[in-house]
Amino acid sequence: MKLRWESLPLELKTTFRIAHGASDKRFNVLVFLDDGVGEAAAVPYYGESQEGIIEYLKTVPDLGEEVFDLDQVLARRPPGSRAARSAIDQALHDLWGKRLGQPLYKLLGLNPMRLPPTSITIGMDDPKVMARQARESGQPILKLKLGGDCDEERVSAIRAVTNAKIRVDANAGWSREQALKIIPRLAEFDLEFIEQPLAVEDLQGYFWLKKELRELNVNLPIFADESVKTSRDVVLLAGAVDGVVVKLMKTEGIREALRTIHTARAHDMQVMLSCMVESSVGVTAAAHLAPLCDHVDLDGPLLIRIDPYAGLTYDGSKITLPERPGIGVMKRSTA
Ligand code: MG
């Protein structure tokens, strides 16, 4: 199989602010394995860059010709960039489906009608600005980025203008003390769950937080995102969180994403499927796993100005998978 790549610059529709910082451009990489395609998202706070991804790809040896021996091919990936390793895995799954003439969800035995609806993300901003965006979006499921000062005002302002389901993501932006102070207050606003309230490495903090919240009779579910990259990390947080967030850029692809989802299930955890700032290539690859998940947060293509590929489609919060073989993405003719 021949490995090649090309850079994929993405411009965001609006500056995207989260607890780690703000950005309005991303520099991803498309990876091809014969006819298969995958995407590596260069997310700075995961230590990834376009240069680093390309440097990694240059070190990848011949992956062989055994398209149907997925684990064997994937084991040939050298250690290094998670995003690049993920893109190789996606391209291999795409190629697998194309060789067999079937969409990926079918090869995985999944029902494409069972996709949970996706949330739409509202970046961290002034409470009034976030409330206006929430109202104008008209979306039934919103995900709010928090993790700064005035988080309670943000949620309060948005709750005042919408009956939408609201989930919030602190992106590791609170200390233990801040989290314990604000979560009981946020619980008053009828939220679905809170993502990553504590620091990435503070796994013990999640056990502590669970106990403290139980004593206060606060039942708002807590999900881990940045703290859980692969199935091994799920095990470390068993009993401490109610759910985990699975992303192909953390699991290094579809193969390990499946293991991560099943490991979470085995520990009675919920699963949300999510993405980074990605085009329809990476997000459609992920969407094939959505029938296995409780919640979906796959709005990456809606955040970017020009998406060079067509893949999954959106109707409000409803997402639909393409019927084409493999991941099912197609280069747009105008791009
Ligand atoms: Mg998150």
Q: In this predicted model, what pLDDT tens digit does every residue of 36-93 receive, in sequence order?
A: 999 999 998 899 999 999 999 999 999 999 999 999 999 999 999 999 999 999 999 9
pLDDT of residue 14: 85
pLDDT of residue 190: 97
Cα(143) to centroid of ligand 1, in Å? Answer: 9
Catalytic residues: 145, 169, 195, 225, 247
Cα(144) to centroid of ligand 1, in Å? Answer: 10
- Residue position matching structure tokens 């068993």: 238
Asked if residue 242 lies in contact with residue 214, where contact means CB atoms within 8 angstroms, the answer is: no
Strand residue runs (E) in the chain: 3-18, 21-33, 36-40, 120-122, 141-145, 165-169, 194-195, 222-224, 243-246, 270-274, 295-297, 309-310, 313-315, 318-320, 330-331
User: pLDDT class for 19, splitting at 50, 70, 90?
Assistant: confident
The pair phi, psi for residue 32, each rounded to 5°, is: -115, 140
For each of the domains in the chain, give its residue range(s) and CATH number, in order of start.
Answer: 3-101 (3.30.390.10), 107-331 (3.20.20.120)
pLDDT of residue 161: 97
Cα(224) to centroid of ligand 1, in Å? Answer: 8
pLDDT of residue 23: 81
Assess whether pLDDT exceeds 60 at residue 335.
Answer: no
Q: In this predicted model, what pLDDT tens digit does every residue of 164-193 receive, in sequence order?
A: 999 999 999 999 999 999 999 999 999 999
Please choose, from the candidates 109, 105, 86, 87, the residue with its C-alpha nearest in 3D space to the C-alpha of residue 97. Answer: 105
Asked if residue 33 lies in contact with residue 162, where contact means CB atoms within 8 angstroms, the answer is: no
Assess whether pLDDT exceeds 60 at residue 210.
Answer: yes
Assess whether pLDDT exceeds 60 at residue 245.
Answer: yes
Q: In this predicted model, what pLDDT tens digit does every residue of 266-284 receive, in sequence order?
A: 999 999 999 999 999 999 9
pLDDT of residue 272: 98
Mean predicted confidence (pLDDT) in 196-204 = 98
Assess whether pLDDT exceeds 90 at residue 17.
Answer: no
Residue 282 burial (CB count, 10 A): 34
Cα(41) to centroid of ligand 1, in Å? Answer: 15
Rg of the chain over Cα atoms, rounded to whole angstroms, equals 19
User: pLDDT class for 257, splitting at 50, 70, 90?
Assistant: very high
If one compares 156 and 16, the residue with the highest pLDDT of the two is 156
Q: In this predicted model, what pLDDT tens digit does every residue of 22-50 receive, in sequence order?
A: 888 999 999 999 999 999 999 988 999 99
Assess whether pLDDT exceeds 70 at residue 321.
Answer: yes
pLDDT of residue 148: 86
Cα(297) to centroid of ligand 1, in Å? Answer: 9
Q: DSSP readout, 236-247?
A: HTTTT-SEEEE-
Distance CA 303, CA 324 (A): 24
Assess whether pLDDT exceeds 80 at residue 334.
Answer: no
pLDDT of residue 130: 96
Cα(78) to centroid of ligand 1, in Å? Answer: 27
Q: In this predicted model, what pLDDT tens digit does every residue of 291-317 receive, in sequence order?
A: 999 999 999 999 999 999 999 999 999
Q: Which residues surround ligand 1, an ion (CB under 5 A)?
A: 169, 195, 225
Assess whether pLDDT exceeds 90 at residue 114.
Answer: yes
Joined together, the tokens standing for residue 53 give: 């991804």
- Kindly report the average pLDDT of the chain as a whole number: 96
Q: Is 48 exposed, middle or buried (0-12, 13-18, 19+ CB in 10 A)?
A: buried
User: pLDDT class for 287, splitting at 50, 70, 90?
Assistant: very high
